Amino acid sequence: MDKKTIGLIVILVVVLLFYFQIMEFLGLYKPAPPQPAQPAPADTTTQVVQQPIEPDTVPAATLVQADTSAPVPADTLVPSDTIIVTTDKYVITMTSFGGAAVSMLLKEYDYRDENRIEMIPDAEAATPEVAFAGGQFSTSRFAFTSSLRPGTYRVTDQPLELVYTYAPTTGGVIEKTYRFYPDDYHYDLTLEVTGLQELGFDRNYDLVWNTPLGVTEPQASTDYDAMEAVAMQSGTRETLDDFDDGRLNQSLTGSTSWAGLRSKYFAAVMIPRGRTGESVFARGEKRSISTPAGSVEQKLITVGLDMPFSAMTGSFADTFTVFVGPLDYSLLSDYEVGLEDMLGIGTTPYVGWIIKPFAIAVIWLLPKMYSTIPNYGLVIILFALFVKLITMPLSMKSFKSMNAMKELQPKIEELKKKYKKNPQAMNQEMMKLYKQHGVNPLSGCLPILPQMPLFFALFSVFRSTILLRDAPFVWFISDLSRGAASLTDPYIILVIIMIAAQFVSQKLTMGATQQNKALMYIMPLFMGFIFYKFAAGLVLYWTCFSVFSLIDYFAFKRRKTVPVKAA
């Protein structure tokens, strides 16, 4: 491996380092306790669809219905009836005060303490809310009447419909119709308003997801780092994250297909049906908070859609799909509105279009392998072996080139001495020498180049999707989605193994030049410093790939060394 090859490797390393810096992964992470979850409602009620449970089974927290002709003080969260809807995917608590949800527990995903994940944590108002007249009128501050009696409803084989109605004595009606499905992570919301003039509404309204998402992972900082408001505008994924002095107050004008919030592995998204929004906005704050594990930068973000209407018609009706669930690429792609872009895979500037096909292939392949081998650790090991076998021809060519370069080294040194004061002539003569002996000085990098987009794809997949969340491997590795929180975290053992494997692999496969010796010691330590914060699944992949690189070495050593062609 000559200096040009080393230079190319250094450039690739610098690119890698710069990318991770902008992704803010060079800070030290410490574990933080997960967001406390509200206890799940008992799931032992009689199975009914659109039929209330008998009064003696109504939850004790159900309150008396409020007067629907006057606004209710905003500091009272649930002053009237409560309806609990349970499906195969979630348990949602609805209140007539605001006519929306105040709790949504996911049935298939838990905190590490085994409580269900709460997607509307610490709700201060019914979510989502509808705001008219520039925010002067908000549905979260008024009591609605409900089409269903208070109680718990189980959605089985048919959708459940719930209608909330607000009809003030001054005229006009606001009606919110919810439709819940047995086996989906979304529900439909139809907003119908009549008597716009009587209500004093004109021009537009906002549909707002007004409760920030909470922390779901043990390492709170990684969850907060991933939190952002995202929208799809004119087919382009837009991120609203322009914090100024700890405050977020950002708007983007344009045809908006959907808008929502995401954390590391979960999202809440509002999708207009029939027409698009005219803009999206995000509000929030960012501040340092103290936890038992240390200081963490907390993000609290809300997001809203601006929907226009014509006051001349006197009424309108809009329907939305509200998705609340995991960041699962396959699940999101089924909505056919580009919702899978919520994950942010393939959005790296300039090279995202190269990374995205690799990422999609990984997302498709790993679950297929897992269906046969139900251990994602073993799946990653086999995947690393698969990649190594595919790149083996390139590795063979690389070994041959390095061997040839080693044979030519004396002649190269002679040329360097002869043309010491004429670099241009020296380069010309070296190129002639390479050509005469059939040597490509850059072929030593061939195995590295195709791996770069794959590596970034794996990083994007393991960072964004829920595939590895809480996926055990062996021994102390009980969650392949998390990395080492500190140098004393047991997960650091896997990083040490990776460093050792990479060092041994490089020591056997790299030439014994002075430059290579420097890389041999620096590169494994450099990679270990970066990797120890990454998902254990990614560390496992790189470790296995380094070990499997020895297959190339021994396969090449078994062959007769290919002689360098005579000049």
Say whether 391 sits in a helix, a strand or coil: helix
Residues 307 and 214 in one domain: yes
Structure-token pair, residue 464 = 């964004």
Side-chain-side CA neighbours of residue 193 (13 Å):
25
- Establish if 3 belongs to a structural domain: no
> How far is the CA of 368 from the CAs of 364, 388, 460, in angstroms?
7, 19, 19
Listed in sequence order, the DSSP H helices in 180-282 are 196-199, 220-226
In this prediction, residue 134 carries a pLDDT of 85
Measured distance CA(93)–CA(84) in Å, rounded = 4
Residues 260 and 335 in one domain: yes
State which amino acid sits at residue 261.
Answer: L
Measured distance CA(363)–CA(463) in Å, rounded = 12
In this prediction, residue 517 carries a pLDDT of 64
Residues 374 and 521 in one domain: yes
Residues 545 and 420 in one domain: yes
CB 80 within 8 A of CB 63: yes
Q: Where are the beta strands (DSSP E) in 398-539?
A: none
Q: Which residues pair with 151 in a beta bridge?
A: 83
Residue 6 is inside which H or E element, if any? helix 3-22
DSSP string, 154-201: E--SS-EEEEEEE--TTS-EEEEEEEE-TT-SEEEEEEEEE-HHHHT-
Residues 462 and 505 in one domain: yes
Angle, alpha carbons 84-87-89 (nearest 5°): 120
Write down the residue that tokens 């004595």 correspond to.
Answer: 169
- Establish if 130 belongs to a structural domain: yes
Shortest CA distance to 553 belongs to which of 507, 519, 518, 522?
Answer: 507
Measured distance CA(108)–CA(281) in Å, rounded = 31
Residues 379 and 259 in one domain: no
CB 486 within 8 A of CB 474: no
- Establish if 274 belongs to a structural domain: yes
- Establish if 567 belongs to a structural domain: no
Structure-token pair, residue 375 = 């251990």
CB 181 within 8 A of CB 187: yes
CB 399 within 8 A of CB 409: no
The last residue of one of the domains, among 294, 309, 344, is 344
State which amino acid sits at residue 288.
Answer: S
In this prediction, residue 445 carries a pLDDT of 61
Please, what's the b/e burial string for 158-196 (b: 16 or more CB within 10 A of its CB; e: otherwise)? ebbebbbbbbbeeebebbbbbbbbeebbbbbbbbbbbbb
For residue 514, count CB atoms less than 10 angstroms from its CB and return exposed for 0-12, middle for 13-18, buried for 19 or more.
exposed
pLDDT in tens, 31-69: 333 333 333 333 433 333 333 333 333 333 333 333 333
Structure-token pair, residue 335 = 């909505």
pLDDT in tens, 98-136: 999 999 999 999 998 889 999 999 999 999 999 998 888
In this prediction, residue 144 carries a pLDDT of 95
Residues 208 and 277 in one domain: yes
In this prediction, residue 326 carries a pLDDT of 96
Listed in sequence order, the DSSP H helices in 228-275 are none
The last residue of one of the domains, among 172, 187, 218, is 172
Residues 164 and 238 in one domain: no
- Establish if 528 belongs to a structural domain: yes
Give me the domain span that covers residue 375. Answer: 369-558
In this prediction, residue 276 carries a pLDDT of 95
Q: Which residues pair with 316 in a beta bridge?
A: 193
Cβ neighbours for 148, distance < 8 A, ≥ 6 positions apart: 50, 52, 83, 162
Residues 136 and 56 in one domain: yes
Cis peptide before 128 (omega within 30 of 0): yes
- Establish if 29 belongs to a structural domain: no
- Establish if 78 belongs to a structural domain: yes
- Establish if 22 belongs to a structural domain: no
Cβ neighbours for 359, distance < 8 A, ≥ 6 positions apart: 345, 346, 457, 458, 460, 461
For residue 563, count CB atoms less than 10 angstroms from its CB and return exposed for 0-12, middle for 13-18, buried for 19 or more.
exposed
Measured distance CA(119)–CA(126) in Å, rounded = 13
Residues 316 and 232 in one domain: yes
Residues 373 and 308 in one domain: no
Measured distance CA(64)–CA(81) in Å, rounded = 6
Residues 515 and 462 in one domain: yes
Question: Domain total for the chain?
Answer: 3
Spell out, as residue ranges, where the chain has pLDDT lower than 70: 1-80, 293, 349, 399, 402, 440-451, 509-519, 556-567
